[in-house]
Amino acid sequence: MVSKILPTFPEPPYLLRELLTSNSADARHFCKNIWQCKCASEAASVRANFAARGPGVSKYDPTVTVHGRMYHEMGALIPPTGMRPRFAAVYIHDTEQAAHNRKYFYVVLREELLHRLGNMLKETNKLVHTFVSLRILYRGIVFLKK
């Protein structure tokens, strides 16, 4: 049998490493609300009919049972007038207000932390780069229509 050494994980971005390892007020807030931070930063949300099962005697159940279909909800990439951008649209539409729009849906989170996390994703995440490119394309189309 031939053994294979797996590649090492790349270093996380500085902000993420700092939030996970330091004892600052932001780090404690991030770790306490890590699920909401993840949800506020995602480009889509998983939707499914999950089975309501409790853990067995061991109190540990790493499985998930889904009934029917599972899909991703992205929302409108260009939200209708009066609606706040959600998911991927936050990266495309009105990026100066992105942290404020995320905070609207996740009120427990600090807006300044959401702003810093958004900037980190813009710098390090290839998918976010794609959405930023769509923003540039969208603004060009809107400009041409005027």
Q: Which tens digit of pLDDT belongs to each residue from 21-80?
A: 999 999 999 999 998 888 888 877 777 777 766 666 666 666 777 778 887 777 777 777
pTM comes to 0.68
Q: What is the pLDDT of residues 92-145, one digit of tens each?
A: 766 667 777 788 788 888 989 988 988 898 889 888 878 777 777 776 665 555
Q: What is the pLDDT of residues 85-103, one digit of tens each?
A: 777 777 776 666 777 778 8
What pLDDT shows up at residue 18? 96
Please check whether residue 105 is in contact with residue 40, taking contact to mean a CB–CB distance below 8 angstroms.
yes
What pLDDT shows up at residue 123? 87
What pLDDT shows up at residue 75? 73
Q: How many CB atoms lie within 10 A of CB 100?
A: 14
What pLDDT shows up at residue 66? 77
Please check whether residue 108 is in contact with residue 36, taking contact to mean a CB–CB distance below 8 angstroms.
yes
C-alpha separations of 72 from 69, 117, 127 in Å: 10, 22, 15
